[in-house]
Every structure is written in C-alpha cells, then in structure tokens.
Amino acid sequence: MINKRYDSAPGALADLRSTGVIHDSMTCMVGGFGLCGIPEQLILALRDTGVQRLTCVSNNAGVDGWGLGLLLETKQIKKMISSYVGENDEFARQFLSGELEVEFNPQGTLAERIRAGGAGIPAFFTASGAGTQIAEGKDTRAFCPPMASAANNREFRRERDYIMETALFADLALVKAWKADEFGNLVFRKTARNFNPMMATAAAFTVAEVEQIVPTGELEPDGIHVSGAFVDRIVQTVSEKRIEQRTMSPA
C-alpha cells in the first residue's frame, strides 16, 4: 500500500513544487467555515513554498493574521472565489484597491460548484442569483421548478429564471478532517464537515490535515465521509483552535 502519511505539514508539501503539483498561477481549494475546519498548518506550509498568483477557492478568506489571511498578507493570492469575506481587513483593502480579484458566489452555489467538480458535472442551473448582478454574463433560462408536491398547483408551477453555473476543479485541495486511517479515508466532525468533504473530491491532488490517524480498517465503513481513493497525503497536526469572534457577557 502507498504510504500516504507524512510527519509534518511542510513535509507533506515539500516535493510538490518540484513535481509540478504546486506551481504559480494554480487553483487551490482550502476547506473551512470561518476558522472552523481550516487546514491551518497546511496553509502555513503552502505559504512557505513561495508559490505566487494563486486562485483560492474557499468559503472565506480567513482573518487578519491567520488562515488564508496569511497568504493575503504576503500577496500570494491573485484571485479569491468565495462566499463570505467580512472578517478580513487586509482582504477588504486589497479588493477595494484593485490588487485582488474576487468572484463572489452565494454560499449554496459555491458548495454545489465544488461538488459538481468532484462529480464530473461541468455545469448546472440554479435559481440563486437570478435577476441580480450574479447573473450578468451567464446563460439564463426559464424552467418550471421541480416541486412534485405542488404538481397540480399552477401558482407553484410557474416558470422562473435559472442561471447556469460552471463546476470548480482545482490543482490542489487542502482539507481538514477529524480522523483518518492510513489509507486516507476521512471522517469529519460537526461544523468542520462543511466544504471540506466536497473539496477533497474536486482536485487533482488532495492533502488532508487530521487530528487523529488510526490503522486502516479501524474506521466504521458507514461513518467514512470521504474515501481514501480521493486523498493523496495525510498529516497529523495539533490545532490551535482559534476563535473568530469572541463575545463576553458584561459581568
């Protein structure tokens, strides 16, 4: 069996520059929701490779000084394909000054574009964003919504506009899981099971940062969220568990 386990995040990426997996102007997917479920040590290792002009696909852009915010500080990101970016002042500065290209997506659309990429579906139609700036330049068509329970109700069966969105597929995916076995089968926990599972399937090369690694065969088969067939490398790390926003009671 191929050894997918590496001792450190830098070690897991060390040879990927020389082999061409990591290269300037590549597209990289990075899992996480806010600061929950981000591959924080792999992000640091990616920064230290010196790769430039990245297109990053991520729900958010981290915060100042952590997560993808670190790659924004070093100006290694050329374009962000994201849904929510409101916690990063440096992101806002670069965007407003024209230094950073941004492609905003409704959150569900972003998730489906990634899932479609992993499933080999080149494009799909969605009602989200129809009639707004999101639809500009995109193929728009009218369909009757597929509501079986309202099949005989003309009010619900009226045509509405849908826009075509294309799938997303990356050169590299960096994901964070709770547990993995030595083959790379992944299990995610709670909120960290957000964009991570579909990103692991939607890239040519996937590296997973995990909290625990167990022998192959120890994971309950029905509890596996991503097959190890999609995962090329795994590394066990200790997370810092930073809190994105802390709110305290007056007392």
Query: Domain extents for the chain?
Result: 5-107+167-236, 123-166
Tell me the Ramachandran region of residue 216: left when phi exceeds 0, alpha when psi lies from -120 to 50, beta otherwise. beta
H or E element, residue 206? strand 206-214
pLDDT at 155: 56
Could you tell me the pLDDT band of residue 137, with boundaries at 50, 70 and 90?
Answer: very high
209 compared with 145, residue with greater pLDDT: 209
Report d(CA 55, CA 25) in Å as an integer: 7
Domain 5-107+167-236 belongs to what topology? Glutaconate Coenzyme A-transferase (3.40.1080)
With a cut of 70, say whether residue 78 has pLDDT above it: yes
Q: How many CB atoms lie within 10 A of CB 118?
A: 22
Report d(CA 39, CA 137) in Å as an integer: 34
**CB distance 124 to 112 below 8 Å:** yes
With a cut of 90, say whether residue 130 has pLDDT above it: yes
Could you tell me the pLDDT band of residue 86, with boundaries at 50, 70 and 90?
Answer: confident
